[in-house]
Structure 1
Amino acid sequence: MMVGFYSQSFCGWMSFVCLAAAVALAGDTFSLGWEVIRLNSFGLGVDIFVDGVGLVFASIVLFIASSVFNFSGLYMGTSSHPIRFHGLLMSFVLSMIVFIFVPNLFGLMVGWDGLGIFSFLLVLFYPCHSSLSAGMITGLTNRLGDSFLMLVLLVNGLVYGGSSINGDCFGLVSFCLVIGAMTKSAQFPFCSWLPRAMAAPTPVSSLVHSSTLVTAGVFLIVRYHVSLSDSSLVMLQWASLITMALSGLNACVEFDMKKVVALSTLSQVSFMMFAVGVGFPFLAFFHLISHAVTKALLFICVGLVIMGYSQDLRRLGGSFLNVESVKWYFGGACAGLCGFPFFSGFYSKEMIIESVLYSNVGWLGFCLFSLGVLSTSYYSARLAFFCFFSGLLNSKRGGVSMFRYSGCMGEIRVHSFCLGLFILSVVLGGVGAWFFLCPPSMFPCHVSKALVMLCCPFGLWLFWLNSVNSSHCSKSSVLEGGYMMVFPKKNVISQNVGEVGDVKIREWKVLRESFVRELGFLDGFSGQPFVYAGLTLSEEVNSSLDQGWLEYFGPGGLSSCFKKFLDCNNYMSNHWFALFFIVYIFEVVIWVVTS
């Protein structure tokens, strides 16, 4: 446990140092270059670039890491390998720091690869089949993104003779850079690995989903935004819109608590990517840092709820209504996530939504964007309701005594790793908007202001109308409510509807639920084709090689031939006189016949 304590102290002090350095620089930059290798006109070097953006982000990352290390001491206290866990977690954080301060492609690959490798090892920390499957999907998808960045490094070195991007990127480099960032940030069609990564311990998920692995792609696009082509940014816009809609709808019907929070991360990262795609990279970065502290706090509270009772929302039943510390922290995180006035998430989301209203987004894009924004309020309210208030409808409070008397924590311990994140999630947005963006209002139109202000209350009203106001809370959702409006129950439909129509309705319902719950069937596409191809290849190899010609000409066949040869030699040695006499008679017969 000393490794976790020293890591917590180091991250806390370094967070303060980075924040102080950001204030001291006051908009200036500092850079340091070192050429590693030079081959004629081609050179590879490492550049260290220190500016206010990098220092602020590093300060947030280190502060979140300090809180996560404090929480992991409680959560992983019974683990059999705490030193290995905290060592991997610290390496993961250091890889993110390298990624932030080394902007050129050669040095950036060190932090980028470190994030992928250590995330793979952390997802595999629990020795079970689900962790192995999730780790393989996570590792392979991240290696795919690494290959695109390696291609960018290769092409950039052949064209410019260096490892730094200078000027505008032409088509191939720009597209490869965007696709690499999309794989790391789990954008469509690479979004299926992020919910699977929930097999990792909750402290790992808190870092991955708040400020490290998932946000690395966003930070990369923000860094190189001015160098990207318009066509690659358009591709990024539509990929982020599709991801935002699919993840938001999935979170509205999911009952696994950690998966709901993971899908909310997917939705928020898509929100940032869309802001960068439409030309607002600074607002995307502002939402990145405000979302980081909120999501870290939410994951820590989810970990406390899981430790106390269950991970299934349907089994909680308002279990933690009287646990004041967890209730307020959890409620504040949900409020910040959905952009409730005047939490940190409100300021960044308000600016981005208002800017999108005045951008050149088409009607289809605006509808997908609105669906993603409204679904955020819906699943945030749904998450808080099922954790704390769903049992009030049926006068049930299961799990309170288990949580209180399990002896797993105290009030002071909970405040130690939640209070700082809660304060930041409340004040960071207002302070950041005042400090970085001087004008309090970007656009003076009162209609757009009203629309932005009503997004969060409208989503909460939809949840109340659809779930809380219904007697069957565990079975209702936005999609099921819409389905019942289009396809009423059988006793409402005319009796002339035949059995064929009922079968088609059931098939459509199953198809619709599979589409929403599997992120547009991407869960199956990301895992099952590879498994099926591997099984088919193994069967062909077994039939053609192991049971085919390799059975006769391989090691097994050669061993059988040598064995038969040795048996024959042994027989000849044991019956040498009879064999000599037979050969002698055979030679005499041949001599008589030929003579």
Structure 2
Amino acid sequence: MVNLILYSYFLLIILFMLIFLLINFNLMDMNYVGEWVIYKHMSVNFSFLVYLDSLSLMFMMVVSLISMIVFLYSIEYMNGDKFIDRFSLLLFLFVFMMYLLILSPSILTILLGWDGLGLISYCLIIYYQNDKAFNAGVLTIFSNRIGDVGILLLISLSSSFGSWNLMNYYFDKYMLMILVIISFTKSAQIPFSLWLPAAMMAPTPVSSLVHSSTLVTAGVYLMIRYNKFLYINNLNNYIFFIASLTMFMAGLIANYEFDFKKIIALSTLSQLGLMMSILSLGLYNLSFFHLLIHALFKSLMFLCVGSFIHCFNNSQDIRSYGGLIYIYPFKSMVLLLSLFCLSGFPFLAGFYSKDLIMEMFMFNKLNMLSLVIMLFSTILTVSYSVRMMMYIVFFAKNYSVILFKKESLLMNICMLVLIFMIIFMGLYFYKIMFWNNFMLFSLIYKMIVLKLLLMGLVMGVFQFYMLKDNYVGYYMNNMFLMSKFYQLYKYPFNLIKFYEFCYEKGMFEYKQKIIKYLWIYVYNKFFFFNMNNLMIYILLFIFCAMII
């Protein structure tokens, strides 16, 4: 408990330092590069690089703010946990690795933060140490290892440059493809989407940090850093198609999901697809703007959901909630605000990014299929938000009245800080990053966001009343049978095992063990002997005799 308070105090000091540095960097319009040469071999420098500019400082500021709030929130949420010191240390290491990744322009030092995020996220996912947590942790770390191997390949290919600071060099086709695959693994784009909902086995404060500003945004941030290479070899068209499909798939599955935390995880997946789509159009500033806004309202959403789960004795099924506007009015208001912000409700923080994104989609030359997928995915975002509001806040039935707990003042204060952020910081970031943005559209295009909101509202109410229990949801939970694809790894392992059993060790070396186990089985069954299994015993004795 003391460690959480110390870490949050330390992050508060870092936050004030970053605000001071950001103001200076913006006023002076400067960048800073620091290099520490660790080892030299001929003309190659193995150096640790630090790159400070307004973009990295702004992202670190948001990460520090959310991390500090999560540490304070965990004081109450993890109260009474046996391993609270281990939890606090892992969480602080996680934030430190994210700092390392943000500040590194060199692919050699990015590997340290990248691999550290993967390893510590595995430790946090298996924190509760049950079978589901172990399975989710293994799926997460193996999916992320593909990205780690891609970084190692990128380091090998770029060693011919004499430096690993890839912001200064030209990417060829193969290096760019590796970079895209690396980003897709960390940001869970198709076909690596399965690990992101599985990572919900971690404690809720960890989910709030991971799914808002740290682990899943690392791939998007890497693409933002190397944005000038995306238009080589027309790779941006493929990126846009995969990202839009990811957004569509996540939005569709979230409309059939009943797990509280998984709905918000799928919402994160949908927003990551949106960020990647914007990046494929070359609008990296807009993608970064939405990344910051998304970090604020998604962390607030997770903290609110965590407090509901905490009060309902760890129940995560939204069908067991209902009528919470009368029981927990403050938390219900917080959830409604965060969902409105996700949907792009006017004059909240999400509106400034989503309205600009829709305008840019209209402004750029896109084919009709891609545009329809993006617009329909936006409708689905509003739809599952409205459905969740109906189930949790306004639904009359309630099955968990006996599980209510008293509200925590510390949790409410943490949420209150983020409410202030999502109301006021959207306009502030917009004024900093897009102060000279000016586009003229007709009234039809200007009203399109409001029309999408209304269509999503109608679809969400329809989902709530008409499609409560259906068999489509079971198919959706498999992520379009993507989970079956991940189970294919069993077959080569089984073949290797069979080969080892038959040829390497020889089947007859197991003769004594087979006889022993068969005899134990027959002996145990002897006392419950009947005529129905007489033939089984005869066949077993014949088989033992043949082996002997």
| Fold similarity call, TM over 0.5 | yes
User: What secondary structure is seen at the aligned counterpart in 2 of 1:361?
Assistant: coil
Return the offset for 1:305.
1.2
Alignment of 1:122-133 (within 5 A): 122-133=124-135
Correspondent of 1:450 among 439, 447, 451 = 447
User: What secondary structure is seen at the aligned counterpart in 2 of 1:210?
Assistant: coil
Return the offset for 1:76.
1.4
Q: Which position in structure 2 is the counterpart of 1:264? A: 267
Alignment of 1:79-478 (within 5 A): 79-158=81-160, 160-165=161-166, 166-228=168-230, 229-309=232-312, 310-319=315-324, 321-391=326-396, 396-400=397-401, 402-403=403-404, 406-407=405-406, 409-410=407-408, 412-439=409-436, 441-464=438-461, 466-467=462-463, 470=465, 474-475=468-469
Q: Which position in structure 1 is the counterpart of 2:537? A: none
Residue 325 of structure 1 contacts residue 414 of structure 1 at CA under 8 Å; is this kept in 2? no
After TM superposition, the structure 1 stretch with the greater mean CA deviation from structure 2, 532-541 or 41-50, is: 532-541
- Distance, in Å, in 1 between the alignment partners of 2:327 and 2:508 is 71
Return the offset for 1:41.
2.8
After TM superposition, the structure 1 stretch with the greater mean CA deviation from structure 2, 515-524 or 50-59, is: 515-524
Task: Encode CA deviations 1:153-186: one digit per residue, 9 max, x unaligned.
Answer: 110112x121111233110111101110110000
Return the offset for 1:234.
2.2
Return the offset for 1:92.
0.3
Return the offset for 1:36.
2.1
- Distance, in Å, in 2 between the alignment partners of 1:169 and 1:325 is 51
Residue 190 of structure 2 contacts residue 246 of structure 2 at CA under 8 Å; is this kept in 1? yes
* Cα 1:548–1:238 shift into 2, 3 Å: same
- Distance, in Å, in 2 between the alignment partners of 1:550 and 1:29 is 69
Return the offset for 1:42.
2.7
Residue 256 of structure 2 contacts residue 473 of structure 2 at CA under 8 Å; is this kept in 1? no
Return the offset for 1:546.
4.6
Residue 300 of structure 2 contacts residue 338 of structure 2 at CA under 8 Å; is this kept in 1? yes
- Distance, in Å, in 2 between the alignment partners of 1:388 and 1:215 is 30
Residue 320 of structure 1 contacts residue 399 of structure 1 at CA under 8 Å; is this kept in 2? no
Match for 2:21: what amino acid? A
- Distance, in Å, in 2 between the alignment partners of 1:537 and 1:336 is 52
Match for 1:7: what amino acid? Y
Task: Encode CA deviations 1:87-122: one digit per residue, 9 max, x unaligned.
Answer: 001000000001111111111111111111101111
Q: Does 1:6 find its partner at 2:40?
A: no
Residue 376 of structure 1 contacts residue 459 of structure 1 at CA under 8 Å; is this kept in 2? yes
Q: Does 1:524 find its partner at 2:497?
A: no
* Cα 1:78–1:232 shift into 2, 3 Å: farther
Return the offset for 1:48.
0.6
Task: Encode CA deviations 1:362-407: one digit per residue, 9 max, x unaligned.
Answer: 111112111211111011111122111112xxxx34435532xx34
- Distance, in Å, in 2 between the alignment partners of 1:167 and 1:215 is 24
- Distance, in Å, in 2 between the alignment partners of 1:531 and 1:318 is 46
Match for 2:454: what amino acid? P
Q: Which position in structure 2 is the counterpart of 1:17? A: 17
Residue 29 of structure 1 contacts residue 49 of structure 1 at CA under 8 Å; is this kept in 2? yes
Return the offset for 1:231.
2.8
User: What secondary structure is seen at the aligned counterpart in 2 of 1:48?
Assistant: strand
Match for 2:468: what amino acid? S
- Distance, in Å, in 1 between the alignment partners of 2:317 and 2:491 is 31
Task: Count residues in correspondence.
Answer: 505
Residue 240 of structure 1 contacts residue 274 of structure 1 at CA under 8 Å; is this kept in 2? yes
Correspondent of 1:76 among 64, 75, 78 = 78
User: What secondary structure is seen at the aligned counterpart in 2 of 1:253?
Assistant: coil
Residue 320 of structure 2 contacts residue 398 of structure 2 at CA under 8 Å; is this kept in 1? no
* Cα 1:545–1:80 shift into 2, 3 Å: farther
Q: Does 1:538 find its partner at 2:532?
A: no
User: What secondary structure is seen at the aligned counterpart in 1 of 2:129?
Assistant: coil
Q: Which position in structure 2 is the counterpart of 1:50? A: 52
Task: Encode CA deviations 1:18-59: one digit per residue, 9 max, x unaligned.
Answer: 122111111321111122222223332221111111111101
User: What secondary structure is seen at the aligned counterpart in 2 of 1:31?
Assistant: strand
Residue 185 of structure 1 contacts residue 269 of structure 1 at CA under 8 Å; is this kept in 2? yes
Alignment of 1:552-567 (within 5 A): none
- Distance, in Å, in 2 between the alignment partners of 1:233 and 1:122 is 34
Residue 178 of structure 1 contacts residue 232 of structure 1 at CA under 8 Å; is this kept in 2? no
Match for 2:403: what amino acid? M
Return the offset for 1:440.
6.0
Return the offset for 1:430.
1.2
Return the offset for 1:222.
0.4
Return the offset for 1:351.
0.8
Return the offset for 1:320.
5.3
Residue 255 of structure 2 contacts residue 463 of structure 2 at CA under 8 Å; is this kept in 1? no
Return the offset for 1:291.
0.4
- Distance, in Å, in 1 between the alignment partners of 2:398 and 2:507 is 64
- Distance, in Å, in 2 between the alignment partners of 1:537 and 1:79 is 43
Return the offset for 1:332.
0.8
Return the offset for 1:549.
7.2
- Distance, in Å, in 1 between the alignment partners of 2:202 and 2:67 is 16
- Distance, in Å, in 2 between the alignment partners of 1:230 and 1:257 is 41
User: What secondary structure is seen at the aligned counterpart in 1 of 2:48?
Assistant: strand
- Distance, in Å, in 1 between the alignment partners of 2:341 and 2:290 is 11
Residue 350 of structure 1 contacts residue 452 of structure 1 at CA under 8 Å; is this kept in 2? yes
- Distance, in Å, in 2 between the alignment partners of 1:122 and 1:550 is 43
- Distance, in Å, in 2 between the alignment partners of 1:518 and 1:189 is 12
Q: Which position in structure 2 is the counterpart of 1:557? A: none
User: What secondary structure is seen at the aligned counterpart in 1 of 2:101?
Assistant: helix
* Cα 1:515–1:278 shift into 2, 3 Å: farther
- Distance, in Å, in 1 between the alignment partners of 2:476 and 2:403 is 34
- Distance, in Å, in 1 between the alignment partners of 2:372 and 2:451 is 16
- Distance, in Å, in 1 between the alignment partners of 2:174 and 2:347 is 43
User: What secondary structure is seen at the aligned counterpart in 1 of 2:49?
Assistant: strand
* Cα 1:525–1:320 shift into 2, 3 Å: farther
Identity of aligned residues (%): 30
- Distance, in Å, in 2 between the alignment partners of 1:13 and 1:398 is 44
Rg larger for: 1
Query: TM-score with structure 2 length normalisation?
Result: 0.88
Return the offset for 1:525.
1.4
- Distance, in Å, in 2 between the alignment partners of 1:265 and 1:462 is 20
Q: Which position in structure 2 is the counterpart of 1:589? A: none
Match for 1:423: what amino acid? F
* Cα 1:231–1:473 shift into 2, 3 Å: closer
User: What secondary structure is seen at the aligned counterpart in 1 of 2:169?
Assistant: coil
User: What secondary structure is seen at the aligned counterpart in 2 of 1:520?
Assistant: coil
User: What secondary structure is seen at the aligned counterpart in 2 of 1:103?
Assistant: coil
Match for 1:366: what amino acid? L
Return the offset for 1:318.
2.5
Return the offset for 1:515.
4.6
- Distance, in Å, in 1 between the alignment partners of 2:233 and 2:389 is 40
- Distance, in Å, in 1 between the alignment partners of 2:347 and 2:261 is 26
- Distance, in Å, in 2 between the alignment partners of 1:308 and 1:398 is 14
- Distance, in Å, in 2 between the alignment partners of 1:225 and 1:209 is 22
